[in-house]
A and B are shown apart, each in its own frame.
Chain A
């Protein structure tokens, strides 16, 4: 009897624990599914409209500048540059909020940049009322530069993706940036993004006072990979610290801004 009294609360506790765990798992799975699929068609539509609106904004800028005669040449942002702004703001927000760069934020922008590149290559001018929209308002890349930028940045980003099994969202974001900015400007922007992210990691580890373990662990891991037998790998606990993930889209955004300002 005493055993029954002793075990009864434990059994209840175990049952309650299992039920709580099941409920937590169910909630987590539902939330994960919801965050990965929720609003996907709406996201595609919103992003397509938003991207298309950049064309109107670019034209309005051009019309205002020519009407007010503030400048003889077009000095505002082109539609491609506005698309970069829209893309980077959306990707940075979703990456920080849900750790995802959704396809709905990438594909419409890629499609619009392809359309802009085609229009630029064909040299088409758009007649909107009395105004004539020059191709420079759309962007500076032709279809060849668009293809080189998209494929080039994609291939460069595929190397860390394949080697370290990182997120494909970053690869797709880099492809879109390559298609909008061109291969070299996008590559420099991404490079600055990685440098900023590394600076953030160093600063964060300085605050947490584990900088002295981060750099030797990284050096040991690199050394072990390069000289397989000569250097022992870092301990599993320290290696796990290097596997911690960080969202990169915000750093890419800052990197692109810096590279465009330089």
Chain B
């Protein structure tokens, strides 16, 4: 079967599949990933700024 035919069959399967169900294990795994995503989105900038400040403190001032 050629690549185009495979793609066509895959698209047809996707198009005909109208199921709205997801397995519990998938829901739980994606929920863990979602918590990480939201935590990164809300705290990411603060963590980045804090690390940058610490790095600047660690480097100190250039006295030369």
> Which partner residue on chain A sits nearest B21 by CB separation?
A245
Q: Knowing A160-B26, A191-B37, A191-B38 touch, does A197 contact B21 (C-beta < 8 A)? A: no
> Which partner residue on chain A sits nearest B34 by CB separation?
A191
Query: Is B22 a contact of A101 with CB atoms below 8 Å?
Result: no
Query: Is A103 a contact of B18 with CB atoms below 8 Å?
Result: yes
Which residues of B are found within 8 Å of A167, using beta-carbon distances?
17-22
A21 to B26, CA, bound (A): 33
B9-45 with Cβ < 8 A to chain A = 13-15, 17-32, 34-35, 37-38, 41
Is A247 among interface residues, defined by CB-CB distance under 8 A?
yes
Nearest CB on B from A155, distance (A): 13
Query: Is A101 a contact of B18 with CB atoms below 8 Å?
Result: yes
Q: Knowing A164-B25, A188-B41, A243-B25 touch, does A91 contact B20 (C-beta < 8 A)? A: yes
Nearest CB on A from B45, distance (A): 14
Query: Is A99 a contact of B19 with CB atoms below 8 Å?
Result: yes
Query: Is B34 a contact of A192 with CB atoms below 8 Å?
Result: yes
B-binding residues in A (CB < 8 A): 36, 91, 94-95, 99-103, 160, 163-164, 166-171, 173, 187-188, 190-192, 194-195, 197-199, 201, 218, 221-222, 241-249
Given A100-B20, A195-B35, 14 more A-B residue pairs with CB atoms under 8 Å apart are A91-B20, A100-B19, A101-B19, A160-B22, A166-B19, A167-B17, A170-B20, A194-B30, A194-B34, A197-B31, A218-B25, A243-B25, A248-B22, A248-B27
